[in-house]
Chains A and B, each alone.
Chain A
Amino acid sequence: MNAEIRTMRTQAELALLDAFANHKDRLVGARDERVAAFKKFEEAGLPHRRVEEWKYTDLRALMRDAKPLAAKPDAAAIAAAREAGRIAGVDARRIVLVNGTFVPELADTAALERGLTITSLAEALVAPGNALAGLGRTVQTNDVVVALNTAFMADGVVIRVAKDAAIERPIHIVHVFSGREAAATFTRSLVVVEPGAKLTLIESHEGAPDVDYQVNTALELVVGDGARVEHVKLGLEGSKALHLSSTMAAVGADAVLRDFAFMTGGAVCRNQLFIRLDGASTQLVVSGANLLKGRQHVDTTMLVDHAAGGCQGREKFKSVVDEQSRVVFQGKIIVRPGAQKTDARMATHALLLSEEAEADNKPELEIFADDVQCGHGATAGALDEELLFYLKARGIPAKEAEALLIQSFVGDAIENVAHEGLREALVAATAQWLQARS
């Protein structure tokens, strides 16, 4: 049969079509980009399991409906978010987005360091001139979730770090969802770190535990030649949330980009990373830790494009999967023709704490240069009984012994975080997760 099969629109797809038609007035700025992006969604629909990149996370099936676009937060929501995202031991400049909206009174933009500018996306979208030059062009992708983000982006943070400015104090973009009514937020942030500059960027997501809100968030990160950037994401969404996150990073020559994601929250989470190395001799470290329980589903899908040679890429992910949870990792490394002397290594390890826990892993290498070193490795297994016995024989009770081994398993990934305060906070957060488990 050759008949053209048009799949019926799902309820969520219909709601998205509706939202775009009815809220044009609220979707300010970037008119042409929004329309073009939405067209991609209209043509492809929500990604499903026959779309290779979404093989293990069938969004069409998982996303039962599309929540209404979140309204601007009221005074109560703003007041409730005042302390959100504070991390013990880390003195960061916090910029809080409540229900997807940049809230000026919760943005610590006082006494900005020389060379640092911070504005809201909503403001930048309507500003004259080219405040947003480059938005949407950091790394091109046909991904529909990114397209939806472009179509509906309401607010976010625009950060620029001028050439050679070393910003020592971390900047923390805090995303909070508050309120009893489920809603959808679409945030887009653009962070440009000019050549020779330095920045530690924290991104966190949290929200009400019993509301099935939906988050579609995207970050474009431009790392100039010789710049050093660390991006640490904390995924602490409420337990019913749908979290779709896209990070697009373009990295220049002689630069260092460290990216870390720590995921413990949310019902269904997708972290997608699109990273392109445009200049030689750059060091890329992408890693993360997923601590999952219940029926959580967390998918990390990463594309690292070595467009230039002589770069070192290190990807390491550690997942602890308990009860009926599921972790997915898809990692694709492309080495373009001429990207000689590329040195890329990718490793994923899953610790399965229950019979029903699941880990799916799909590494892919596409290598078009001959003088490269590329490899990947993956393991999935239970805790080592012999090691547990050794610890117990020294008087350490079973749960504590397990916690020690799990902590060290996860710690191996956390070591990749360069910022000491953050590293300690992540170790503490892991201990807290383990404590809640026993």
Chain B
Amino acid sequence: MPMLEVKNLHVEVEGKKILNGLDLTVPSGQVHAIMGPNGSGKSTLAYVLAGKEDYEVTEGDVLLDGESILGLEPDERAARGLFLAFQYPMEIPGVASMTFLRTALNAQRRARGEQELSTPDFLKRVRDVAARLHIDQDMLRRGVNVGFSGGEKKRNEILQMALLEPRLCVLDETDSGLDIDALKIVADGVNALRAPDRSMIVITHYQRLLNYIVPDVVHVMAKGRVVKTGGKELALELEAHGYAEYREAAA
């Protein structure tokens, strides 16, 4: 059974049709890249997977481990192992990073019927993950993402991902806004999480990221559906020729 199956997904926002019969299958242990022009619906797909409210699914289904998740709340999906690294992470002034991380981790553990983590265990985990991602402990003393640069926010998303150990990771343009060193650090962080029982969807505009996080499969999205699927060489092809051919194919 594949980890994720998206079947003929049709989605509207405020009466506007955005996803248009999208199909996507991601087997366990694989990394899939999704590329495609601005406005083609990549972030919309990511949000619908995570369970954002404003999106109305008018047709189709999303199965995680063979079960539909469309009726689940976002927190329930997270507890089942779904994680979205946001294209634009939020600043939450007044909510301390550590409180946020601990609340999230323990809420997920509770939902899965696991023991909550003790304070020393929790702190140790955060320290280890932060060190691997070169995130200064001082940054975690602030409010969530407050005063972080664009790149720092992206790194913080990966920190959350590493801490929560999800089974399906959706990374929405995690590479945008990262400098070259940070890109390397983030890619290393992501690669460290690759595992036979963990799948990833990496949304990106740039082939460069895929040099570091080498995908098993590359999909091209246009006008709300997957219009082409291939191996990692597809990304190189797109880099060279652009999306012209797919814009027409989808029309």
Contacts and interface: CB of A to CB of B under 8 A. Distances in A.
A360 B234 CA distance: 59
Question: Taking each of B77, B95, B99, B111, which has the highest tally of chain A beta carbons within 10 Å of its own beta carbon?
Answer: B95
Nearest to B93: A408
B79 interface: yes
B75 A397 contact: yes
Contact of A389 (B74, B83, B160, B164): B74
Interface string B106-127: 0110010000000000000000
Interface string B35-58: 000000000000000111100000
Nearest to A390: B90
B104 A394 contact: yes
Question: Taking each of B53, B86, B90, B164, which has the highest tally of chain A beta carbons within 10 Å of its own beta carbon?
Answer: B90
Contacts of B75: 392-398, 401
A241 B158 CA distance: 52
B106 to A, nearest CB: 9
Question: Taking each of A387, A395, A396, which has the highest tally of chain B beta carbons within 10 Å of its own beta carbon?
Answer: A395
Interface of A: 385-387, 389-398, 400-401, 404-405, 407-409, 411-412
A408 B51 contact: no
Contacts of A393: 50-52, 74-75, 77-78, 83-84, 86
Given A394-B164, A395-B164, A408-B93, 6 more contacts: A387-B90, A387-B92, A389-B53, A393-B74, A395-B75, A404-B100
Interface residues of B, number: 30
A385 B53 CA distance: 9
24 contacts: A387-B90, A387-B92, A389-B52, A389-B74, A390-B90, A392-B73, A393-B77, A393-B78, A393-B83, A394-B100, A395-B104, A395-B107, A396-B75, A396-B103, A397-B73, A397-B111, A400-B103, A404-B95, A404-B100, A404-B103, A407-B94, A407-B95, A408-B92, A412-B94
A390 B86 contact: yes
Closest 9 CB pairs of A and B: A408-B94, A395-B78, A395-B108, A392-B74, A394-B104, A390-B90, A392-B75, A408-B95, A397-B75
Nearest to A401: B75
Nearest to A397: B75
A392 B73 CA distance: 8
Interface of B: 50-53, 73-75, 77-79, 83-84, 86, 89-90, 92-95, 99-100, 103-105, 107-108, 111, 143, 160, 164
A379 to B, nearest CB: 14
A412 B96 CA distance: 12
Contact of B78 (A386, A392, A407, A409): A392
B124 to A, nearest CB: 20
B107 A400 contact: yes
Given A395-B107, A395-B111, A396-B107, A404 B73 contact: no
A412 B105 CA distance: 25
Given A389-B52, A390-B86, A400-B107, A395 B95 contact: no
A394 B165 CA distance: 11
Nearest to B88: A386
A393 B166 CA distance: 12
Contact of A394 (B52, B78, B94): B78
A412 B73 CA distance: 29
